Amino acid sequence: MAEFEYVRNCWYPIGFSDEFKAGELKGLKIADRPIVVWRTADGEVVAFDDRCCHKRFPLSQSKLLESGNLECAYHGLQYDATGRCVEIPSQSDRPIPKQARLQVVPVCEQDTIVWLWPGNPAACQGIPPPRTREAVDENLEALPLPHIIDSPSNYMLLIENLLDISHFYPLHDGNIGDRANSEIPVKIEEGETDGFKYVRTIREVQNYKQPPYFREYFHYDVIDRVHTHTMVTPGLTRVVMRIAPPGQLGTEAERGYTLLHLHFPVDKSNLQWRILISTKKGLTPLSDPGRSTAQAIADSFYAVVEQDEWALKRQQKMMEYPDEGYSELFLLSDAALRRARQIVLNMQRAERQPRAVEEALA
Delimit the domains of the chain by residue range. Answer: 12-124, 133-320+328-347
pLDDT of residue 360: 45
pTM, to two decimals: 0.94
pLDDT of 356 > 80? The answer is no
The span from the CA of 14 to the CA of 281, in Å, is 27
Q: What number does CATH give the domain 12-124?
A: 2.102.10.10
Mean pLDDT across the stretch 133-157?
A: 95
User: 222, 271, 279: which is closest to 255 by C-alpha?
Assistant: 279
**pLDDT band per the 50, 70, 90 thresholds, residue 354:** low
The span from the CA of 226 to the CA of 53, in Å, is 52
Beta-bridge partners for 29: 34
The span from the CA of 239 to the CA of 227, in Å, is 7
Mean pLDDT across the stretch 5-33?
A: 95
Q: How far is CA 112 from CA 20, 71, 301, in A?
A: 11, 28, 21
pLDDT of residue 362: 46
H or E stretch at 9 = none
The span from the CA of 355 to the CA of 178, in Å, is 48
**pLDDT band per the 50, 70, 90 thresholds, residue 2:** very low
Mean pLDDT across the stretch 149-167?
A: 95
pLDDT digit string, tens, across residues 197-238: 999 999 999 999 999 999 999 999 999 999 999 999 999 999
What does 11-56 look like in DSSP terms, one character per residue? -EEEEEGGG--BT--EEEEETTEEEEEEE-TTS-EEEEESB-TTT-
pLDDT of 359 > 80? The answer is no
Percentage, residues of the chain above pLDDT 90: 88
Residue 249 gets which letter from DSSP?
Answer: T
pLDDT of 173 > 60? The answer is yes
pLDDT of residue 146: 86
Percentage, residues of the chain above pLDDT 70: 96
Q: How far is C-alpha 34 from the geometric centre of its chain's CA atoms?
A: 18
The span from the CA of 275 to the CA of 295, in Å, is 13
H or E stretch at 102 = none
**pLDDT band per the 50, 70, 90 thresholds, residue 355:** low
The span from the CA of 116 to the CA of 31, in Å, is 11
Mean pLDDT across the stretch 153-159?
A: 96
Torsion of CA 157, 162, 167, 168, to 10 degrees: 150
Beta-bridge partners for 1: none
Mean pLDDT across the stretch 37-47?
A: 96
**pLDDT band per the 50, 70, 90 thresholds, residue 192:** very high
**pLDDT band per the 50, 70, 90 thresholds, residue 3:** low
The span from the CA of 14 to the CA of 258, in Å, is 20
pLDDT digit string, tens, across residues 339-352: 999 999 999 999 98
pLDDT digit string, tens, across residues 66-93: 999 999 999 999 999 999 999 999 998 8
pLDDT of residue 340: 95
Mean pLDDT across the stretch 93-97?
A: 91
What does 107-128 look like in DSSP terms, one character per residue? EEEETTEEEE--S-GGGGTT-P
CATH fold, domain 133-320+328-347, is: Naphthalene 1,2-dioxygenase Alpha Subunit; Chain A, domain 1 (3.90.380)
Mean pLDDT across the stretch 137-161?
A: 95
